[in-house]
Chains A and B, each alone.
Chain A
Amino acid sequence: MTKPIQELVDQLPTNNLTVSALRTLDFIAPGEWQNVVGFVNTIKTVTGETDEDLIQQIGERAIYLYNDRSQGYQTAMWLYQTVDSTDRAIGTAVLANKVGEKIPLLGFLNSITPKAEKAQTIDLCLKLVVELVAFCQINGIPGDSIGDFVASLGEYSGESFIRMAALVCFDGLIPLGSGFADRALSWISQTSPQELEQNPTFQNIKDTIPGQDSGSKLNFIGESFNSVTGWMGNLVASHDLSPQKIANNLQGFIDFSGDKLDYLAAFLDVSTNYYEHTGTQTLARRLIERASAEI
């Protein structure tokens, strides 16, 4: 059975490698992301209400909405969890007691393998598609026009924003370099549906991606990626983001030499779950907003 939403939100860590990694991105939008954890705490933060009876009503309504599978919230949560979990080979237990001390990457070189560029590119694209599909599962397609829909996408703030910034930095810039978007697009154009099918993450989530067969799903992935390259490019340009800059910030808690960025990317991949962490926060926020409006 899937875990109750209140448990998922209550169990979000206040501090671990994922949280530390996300905090290094704070300079992109200072204060934009607060690591809000705890179900009741999230209700208070989102609504600004402190009345216990009202909080109870909102919480109960949110739980009902989440458990009604026709409402799409569980699919969204599953997507956020799945796209993150396929690579988590290094047990979190090994790393859990490392918080607060600098982790020597050298100690993990034997247990991590940098991904081939192609696999890394597919990962990046799949994470992006998951974002789009999860967005629609959680929010529907808001408004009456394409313009309304694009405006609602543009409302990415808080944990949703930091998730997209992390996608650009940890799954784009560090493993693939500054030209990551172009490289991704060119790889997509050279990838065959058969190759895509060999990817374990795609195998897992393919039923949720629009398209009748792997070929049309691949097209959808390409179109989705293409449509956000502008946004990604702006983010990189406006903050002068580079692999080196992101890596320097990470050196605050991971010890590595600058020529090991591929290993750093692989390490982040297996030791963090920023999609699941911030995805849980996004979903809780939206669910609570809806519950608070409906009661």
Chain B
Amino acid sequence: MIVPRTRRILATLFLCLLLLTTACTPKTPGRFDQAQQQSSQQKSGQAIAKDATQGSQFNKFFPNPQDGYQRVYTQEKKGFSEAKLKKAGKDLAVLSISDTQGVKGTSNPAGKFKTSTKSIAGYPAVSQGTTGTAVLVADRYQVKVQSRDPSFTQSDREAWIQKFNLDGLSRLK
């Protein structure tokens, strides 16, 4: 089939235009672009302070599970330690201790406790989202329990926070 000349020219023009505009359209900014840009300016040390408490120091303050509960340590990094709480093979919650003074780059996690009106075992407490409850110990260490199953409620979280050795943690140097 013979394509009329004008149509062919138009088609070529249109193609060029399409290529040009698609190539030049700026990428719509993503919601994490700023964090990506700021956090990639240095190679190392931008997220965790060098003198953050080692996660291994936190393990002994975790609750000792009884009555069919299981505690399985899952992560241990600088400034952070985490364990799963399980029962009958099911994940119920995540237990964690982190060093708020070790957190760099993003906003200081200890800040949210300043306006807290609640306390658990005498320590300032906050709720986060629908699944998290946390206390701040010695103005530094964040003890958090996050539900991973709907059966594990806010009152369960508060009860398990009190099973940590919070006073022992408050004396950690």
Stretch of B13-21, B115-123, B140-148, B163-171 lying at the A interface: B140-148
Are A60 and B47 in contact, with the CB atoms below 8 A?
no
Residues of A within 8 A of B103 (CB): 294
Q: Is A211's CB within 8 Å of the partner chain B?
A: no
Are B144 and A293 in contact, with the CB atoms below 8 A?
yes
CB distance from A226 to the nearest CB of B (A): 24
B30 touches which of A6, A142, A293 (Cβ 8 Å): A6
Are A70 and B48 in contact, with the CB atoms below 8 A?
yes
Are A289 and B36 in contact, with the CB atoms below 8 A?
no
B residues touching A (Cβ–Cβ < 8 Å)? 30-32, 35-36, 39-40, 43-48, 55-56, 59-60, 72-84, 94, 96, 98, 103-107, 109, 128-132, 142, 144, 146-148
Residues of A within 8 A of B78 (CB): 70-71
Residues of B within 8 A of A71 (CB): 47-48, 77-78
Known contacts A63-B35, A63-B39; decide if A293 and B76 are in contact (CB<8 Å). no
The dominant DSSP class at the A interface is: helix
Known contacts A64-B39, A65-B47, A140-B55; decide if A59 and B130 are in contact (CB<8 Å). no
**A138–B40 Cα gap in the complex (Å)?**
19
Closest to A48 in B: B131
Q: Chain A contact residues (Cβ within 8 angstroms of B): what range? A: 35 or more
CB distance from B131 to the nearest CB of A (A): 5
Q: Is A152's CB within 8 Å of the partner chain B?
A: yes
Query: Can you list 27 pairs linking A and B with CB atoms under 8 Å apart?
Result: A1-B40, A4-B32, A6-B32, A39-B32, A47-B129, A47-B131, A49-B131, A51-B129, A54-B129, A59-B35, A61-B106, A63-B32, A63-B35, A65-B48, A68-B39, A69-B43, A139-B76, A140-B75, A144-B56, A144-B73, A152-B74, A155-B72, A286-B75, A289-B74, A289-B94, A290-B77, A294-B80
